Chain A
């Protein structure tokens, strides 16, 4: 199973809507279609993708501000992904005592907890990536990938 964080899921959803709009958002400004394609390569099947309810909420808070055609496309993509992916719940009480909570906050601490039982974490959050690697979790770090490309 593969677990994904909010920002990476945003890149995925924007890519499904239209890869050209990925870099229109401040949180995903450094990414492009190449990063969207890379995410797809790490997800063999959408039912292998684990998403926390917290992540869906963060994503919806960002993208539900669309109007008109884009909003329709967003809802369509969200319906597809929520149907095909696997939603997993982690109780907040189980993560607030984790030492990572102080630095990562609730959602990312929950992702970290969930990732311990997964094959891969896809993240575009450098601090979450640092913590995950310190816990021995295999990470596809989108910021690292993008920065390597930048310096090539």
Chain B
């Protein structure tokens, strides 16, 4: 599968699960697990940050008025979505 197919599958799964209005949906990272022949796809998107404290100084401090959410989607070699998970962006996972 190429990145475009993986992006489309992950995005359609995201659209079916969450009805929250989102924008700037991005493919962030892709890896293939050869043991169980599964693609691990990380996507991100922006949502309005409803939990942010309303503070007139916030804008001056350079805090975006929206929040970027990361999700991990597991896709098998038959293009079936096997899992949809919360993905913690930090701490960054550094591995070869």
Contacts and interface: CB of A to CB of B under 8 A. Distances in A.
B12 interface: no
A interface secondary structure, majority: helix
B80 interface: no
B50 to A, nearest CB: 16
A131 B64 contact: yes
Given A27-B94, A105-B91, A130-B66, A150 B29 contact: no
Given A30-B3, A126-B44, A150-B4, A134 B62 contact: yes
Nearest to B95: A26
Contacts of A99: 58, 61-63
Contacts of A58: 92, 94
Contacts of A29: 29-31
Nearest to B45: A126
A82 to B, nearest CB: 19
Residue of B62, B63, B90, B93 with highest tally of chain A CB at under 10 A:
B62
Contacts of A27: 29, 92-94
Interface in B26-72: 26-31, 44, 46, 58-59, 61-66, 68
Tier of interface size on chain A: 20 to 34
B96 A62 contact: yes
Contacts of A131: 62-64
Contacts of B95: 26, 62
A42 B68 CA distance: 26
Contact of B62 (A100, A143, A150): A100
Interface in A51-99: 58, 61-62, 65, 98-99
A25 interface: yes
Contact of A146 (B27, B62, B65): B27
B20 to A, nearest CB: 17
Contact of B29 (A30, A98, A134, A135): A30
A133 B61 CA distance: 12
A122 B76 CA distance: 33
A131 B64 CA distance: 6
B89 interface: yes
A130 B23 CA distance: 13
B45 to A, nearest CB: 9
7 contacts: A26-B93, A27-B93, A30-B27, A58-B94, A126-B28, A134-B62, A143-B27
